C-alpha cells in the first residue's frame, strides 16, 4: 500500500486553525491509503498539538527546507512511500487525496505530482514558466504528464516519492524559504524529466501587495540572502541570479523611493558582507 506522509510547516499559527490541516483532514476519509501528519512548527513558542500528528518544534525557525528534509528522513524510517508538502495556508478540495491516489495507481512511473495552484485573485501561481531564475505566470496549462523542461512549481501541494526526494538531494537548507521550491526542482530535473499535473486546483493565500517599507525591506534582505546561497552550476546561473536581485533592488527602490535597498544590495550582495 502507498503510504503518504502529509507534511505541514507552521509559523505562528496553531495547527487547529491551519487551512491546510483542516482541508486535508477532511479529504483523508475519501481514500484508502495509510497516511500520517508530520507537523514542523517554526514558531518561537511550542504549542500544544494533537496526538494524531508527529510534531517537531524548531524555535530557531530553520525554514521549510530543513522541515521537508527532516520529514523525508522520518518518512524513510517509517516506511512511507510518498510525501505531500504543504504550507499552513493552502486550501485543498475534499477529493484532493483521492486525485493524488488515482495518479499513483495509474501512473507508476511518475515521481512528482502537483496540482494547479491559484491565488484568491484567480492568478495561476503554479506551475509557472521558469527561465533565467524567474518564475512567470501562465494563463493556463494542460493537465497530465509533462516534461519539466522550462517549468517549475511551488512547494505547497507537491506530492513526491520519498526515495526520489532523497536521491536528488532533497532541499537546499542554505535556502530556507524564498526560492527553496525552485532550487529543489532544479535538483529534481537533473535526475528526472517528467512530472504530472493534476486536473485539480488548490487555493494559496498569496499576496504581493505589501506597502509597508520596513516589511518590504526585511523581505528583500531575506530574498537577497537566499540568492547568495542558491546553487550555481555554471556562469550563466551566476549572471541570472545577479540580474534577478538587481531587478528586485531597482523595483523596490522605485516603489518605496528609499535608497536602503541599493545600499543593502551593494553591501550584502556585491561585497558579500551581511549586516
pLDDT one-digit tens code per residue, 112-150: 999 999 988 889 999 999 999 999 999 999 999 999 999
Give the CA dihedral 162, 165, 168, 173, nearest 10 degrees.
-140
Helix, strand, coil share (%) of the chain residues, nearest 5:
40, 25, 40
Q: Where are the chain's structural domains?
A: 4-204, 213-270
Separation between Cα atoms, residue 75 and residue 136, nearest integer Å: 33
Give pLDDT, residue 275.
45
Q: How far apart are CA 182 and CA 47, in angstroms?
A: 30
Question: How far is residue 249 from each of residues 217, 239, 254, 268, measured CA to CA in Å?
Answer: 10, 15, 9, 12
CA–CA distance, 63 with 9 (Å, rounded to integer): 9
Residue 268: what pLDDT?
81
- CATH 3.90.550.10 is held by the domain 4-204: yes
Per-residue confidence (pLDDT) for residue 29, from 0 to 100: 67
Cα separation, 118 vs 84, in Å, equals: 18
Per DSSP, which regions of 156-223 are E strands?
159-161, 194-204
Per-residue pLDDT, 184? 98
Closest by CA to 85, choosing from 113, 56, 105, is: 113
- Strand 35-41 and strand 53-57: pairing? parallel
In the chain, which residues have pLDDT < 50? 274-275
Amino acid at each position: 500500500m502507498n503510504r503518504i506522509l502529509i507534511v505541514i510547516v507552521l509559523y505562528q499559527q496553531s495547527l487547529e486553525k491551519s487551512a491546510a490541516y483542516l482541508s486535508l483532514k477532511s479529504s483523508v476519509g475519501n481514500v484508502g491509503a495509510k497516511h500520517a501528519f508530520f507537523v514542523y512548527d517554526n514558531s518561537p513558542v511550542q504549542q500544544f498539538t494533537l496526538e494524531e500528528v508527529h510534531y517537531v518544534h524548531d524555535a530557531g525557525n530553520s525554514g521549510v527546507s530543513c522541515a521537508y528534509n527532516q520529514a523525508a528522513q522520518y518518512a524513510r524510517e517509517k516506511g512511507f512511500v510518498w510525501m505531500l508538502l504543504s504550507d499552513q495556508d493552502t486550501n485543498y478540495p475534499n477529493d484532493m487525496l483521492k486525485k493524488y491516489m488515482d495518479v499513483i495507481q495509474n501512473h507508476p512511473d511518475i515521481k512528482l505530482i502537483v496540482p494547479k495552484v491559484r491565488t484568491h485573485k484567480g492568478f495561476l501561481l503554479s506551475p509557472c514558466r521558469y527561465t533565467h531564475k524567474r518564475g512567470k505566470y501562465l494563463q493556463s496549462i494542460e493537465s497530465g504528464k509533462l516534461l519539466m523542461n522550462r517549468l517549475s512549481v511551488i512547494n505547497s501541494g507537491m506530492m513526491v516519492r520519498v526515495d526520489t526526494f532523497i536521491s536528488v538531494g532533497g532541499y537546499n537548507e542554505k535556502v530556507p524559504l524564498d526560492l527553496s521550491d525552485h532550487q529543489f526542482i532544479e535538483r529534481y530535473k537533473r535526475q528526472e524529466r517528467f512530472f504530472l499535473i493534476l486536473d485539480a486546483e488548490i487555493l494559496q493565500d498569496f499576496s504581493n501587495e505589501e506597502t509597508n517599507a520596513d516589511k518590504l525591506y526585511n523581505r528583500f534582505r531575506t530574498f537577497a540572502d537566499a540568492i547568495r546561497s542558491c546553487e550555481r552550476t555554471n556562469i550563466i546561473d551566476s549572471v541570472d541570479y545577479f540580474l534577478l536581485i538587481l531587478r528586485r533592488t531597482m523595483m523596490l527602490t522605485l516603489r518605496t523611493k528609499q535608497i536602503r535597498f541599493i545600499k543593502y544590495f551593494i553591501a550584502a550582495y556585491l561585497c558579500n558582507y551581511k549586516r
